[in-house]
Amino acid sequence: MVKKNQLYEGKAKKIYATDDSDVYWVEYKDDATAFNGQKRGSIIGKGEVNNQLSALLFEYLENNNIPTHFLELVNEREMLVKSVKIIPIEVVVRNIVAGGMASRLGLEEGTVLKTPVIEYYYKSDEFGDPMINDDHIRELNLATPEQLQEIKNLALKIDQLLQKIFDEKGFILVDFKLEFGVHKGQVILADEISPDTARIWDKQSKEKMDKDRFRQDLGGVEAAYQEVLRRFKGGRAVS
């Protein structure tokens, strides 16, 4: 596989074409942003953690009948994925109140939700990724009703699977963001699953092990990211 011209650069990744039109080459960056890009910095080794953890979780989901864009790791920082047309909707699945949900609704952080809550956001830097609903999605032609139903079904299945494996590694999966794309007519999971895109708390100490450490200036950001990857690569299970 040959890495060719850069197609796109986002906040966390660079996407390249390859000599196969069905395959993209993804390079994960150490750049870190928060609050819609208002806060910027760098987390040393973040790209390697997010690349490798995403690969492990994509493989786990694929083994449990969730279609993803992942093909294979190239190295610690890069992977090959299926070429997809991204559906411009960020899907947030919440199991526990935190972040924006707490501030918007006046709920206490850490409150366990009766059932998972799914939120949709319009993937648009220009408009600050606003929250949207099914009617907005229809009016903006972001996805067909059939695609949106498939996204919701997949998101709930992914939540069940991820909660299980994070629990086995000694973590609480508070919430997480997903993105989906279309590959050869099929809706599949794309983007990444990492401490950048999920709130992850240690099951025993409730310590935050994700990008909230960067957002909230808690320190120990690199150590938290590395610990998440270490537990997954080490196969550590905590009862």
Q: Which two tokens stand for residue 3?
A: 């890495």
pLDDT tens-digit readout, 51-101: 999 999 999 999 999 999 999 999 999 999 999 999 999 999 999 999 999
Give CA–CA dist 174/183, Å, rounded.
29
Helix (H) or strand (E) holding 174: strand 171-183
Q: Which two tokens stand for residue 131?
A: 């929250």
Contacts of 149 (CB under 8 A, 6+ apart): none
pLDDT tens-digit readout, 170-192: 999 999 999 999 999 999 999 99
Q: In the predicted model, is pLDDT for residue 237 greater than 50?
A: no
Q: Which homologous superfamily is 3-82 in? A: Phosphorylase Kinase; domain 1 (3.30.200.20)
pLDDT, averaged across the chain? 95
Q: In the predicted model, is pLDDT for residue 128 greater than 50?
A: yes
Where in the chain are the domains? 3-82, 85-220
Answer whether 40's CB lies under 8 Å from 58's CB. Answer: no
Residue 37: its pLDDT value, please?
72
Residue 36: its pLDDT value, please?
75
Q: Domain 85-220 - what CATH class? A: alpha beta
DSSP conformation class of 107: P
Residue 236 pLDDT class (50, 70, 90 cuts): very low
